[in-house]
């Protein structure tokens, strides 16, 4: 899609580098695809002493994608995505049964210098989320607001500025109705982005509390990469990701409190197989 990207894309590079793929459970994912274009994915997760399982199927036809997921708690989630339902648009509808009120309809519009998105719930008095981004040459300005039609009040409003260049990404976000300031940045040390550094500072004005998190990514070889992060409370986390074979990935991650070494560390293992 063209344009400066969605509002949710502002600051996403830093967020993904600091949080994506970190897991402290045991997870196994197996994905297959049929000749007719139907993809099937089974996921089993052990969290503590509890096990959960879900199975999802994805079917793509021309510009339409249908995703259906069933889990062990008898929930059925269905998502329908249509590209170019109207020129330069993306339509996403979703519902999770048996909770019929969980349904949402999202319409995204992409222009060369602007992007807009609207999300409306399907219940009688829905919450309406609106967001928009304008920009050019790697600089984007965006705003987001949520309005509850049942109470007639705003549930949220956020403003952000993002800068995207070949060797760095930066974002300034004013969230939580003006109570939270978040500044983040990612710097790539080389053109192939084999080594990157990230920092994120969050300040909550109502409590005068600051949280600083720094991290990095290093690609050892085309199949192996490592990540690490550390925040000002002393929590250190690290991750090793290795591609066993094309599209089959093993992820090992851990986390411990450097200020309380007597506490047991957290460890996680995720194996994603795609025959």
Share of the chain above pLDDT 70, in %: 99
pLDDT band, very low/low/confident/very high, at 85 (cuts 50, 70, 90): confident
Residues 6+ apart with CB under 8 A from 19: none
pLDDT at 164: 94
pLDDT band, very low/low/confident/very high, at 1 (cuts 50, 70, 90): low
pLDDT at 49: 80
- The answer to whether 216 and 197 are in contact (CB under 8 A) is yes
pTM reported for the whole predicted model: 0.88
Cα torsion angle, 82, 85, 89, 95, sign: negative
CA 232 vs CA 71, 201, 212, 236, 258: distances in Å:
38, 10, 6, 10, 10
Place of tokens 């039609």: 149
Average pLDDT for residues 27-49, to the nearest whole number?
A: 88
Give the integer Cα–Cα distance in Å for 270 and 274.
13
Q: Is residue 253 pLDDT above 80, yes or no?
A: yes
Residues 6+ apart with CB under 8 A from 58: 38, 39, 40, 41, 65, 66, 67
Q: Over the stretch 116-162, which tens digit does the pLDDT of each residue have?
A: 999 999 888 899 999 999 999 899 999 999 999 999 999 999 999 99
Instruction: Give the 3-state DSSP-derived string for the chain, with helices as H, strands as E and coil as C.
Output: CCCCCCHHHCCHHHHHHHHCCCCCCEEEEEEEECCCCEEEEEEEEEECCEEEEEEEEEEEECCEEEEEEEECCCCEEEEEEEECCCCCEEEEEEEEECEEEEEEEEEEEECCCEEEEEEEECCCCCEEEEEEEEEECCEEEEEEEEEECCCCEEEEEEEEEEEEECCEEEEEEEEHHHCEEEEEEEEECCCCCCEEEEEEEEEECCCCEEEEEEEEEEEEECCEEEEEEEECCCEEEEEEEEEEECCEEEEEEEEEECCCCCCCCEEEEEEEECC
Q: Is residue 227 pLDDT above 70, yes or no?
A: yes
CATH code: domain 7-273 is 2.40.160.10
């Amino acid at each position: 899609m063209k344009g400066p990207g969605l509002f949710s894309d502002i600051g996403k590079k830093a967020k993904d580098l600091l949080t994506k793929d970190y897991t402290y459970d045991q997870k196994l994912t197996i994905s297959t695809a049929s000749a007719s274009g139907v993809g099937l994915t089974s996921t089993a997760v052990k969290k503590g002493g509890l096990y959960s399982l879900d199975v999802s199927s994805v079917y793509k036809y021309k510009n339409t994608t249908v995703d259906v997921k069933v889990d062990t708690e008898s929930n059925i989630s269905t998502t329908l995505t249509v590209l170019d339902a109207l020129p330069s648009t993306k339509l996403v509808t979703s519902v999770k049964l048996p909770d019929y009120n969980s349904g949402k309809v999202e319409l995204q519009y992409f222009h060369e210098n602007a992007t807009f998105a609207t999300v409306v719930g399907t219940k009688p008095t829905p919450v309406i989320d609106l967001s928009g981004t304008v920009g050019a040459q790697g600089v984007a300005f965006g705003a987001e607001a949520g309005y509850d039609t049942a109470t007639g009040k705003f549930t949220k409003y956020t403003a952000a500025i993002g800068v995207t260049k070949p060797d760095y990404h930066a974002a300034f976000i004013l969230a939580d109705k003006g109570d939270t300031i978040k500044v983040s940045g990612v710097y790539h040390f080389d053109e192939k982005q084999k080594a990157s550094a990230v920092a994120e500072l969050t300040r909550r004005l109502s409590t005068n509390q600051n949280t600083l998190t720094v991290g990095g990514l290093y690609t050892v070889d085309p199949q192996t990469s490592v990540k690490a992060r550390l925040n000002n409370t002393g929590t250190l986390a690290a991750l090793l990701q290795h591609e066993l074979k094309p599209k089959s990935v093993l992820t090992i991650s851990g986390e411990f409190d450097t200020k309380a070494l007597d506490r047991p560390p957290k460890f996680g293992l995720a194996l994603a197989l795609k025959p």
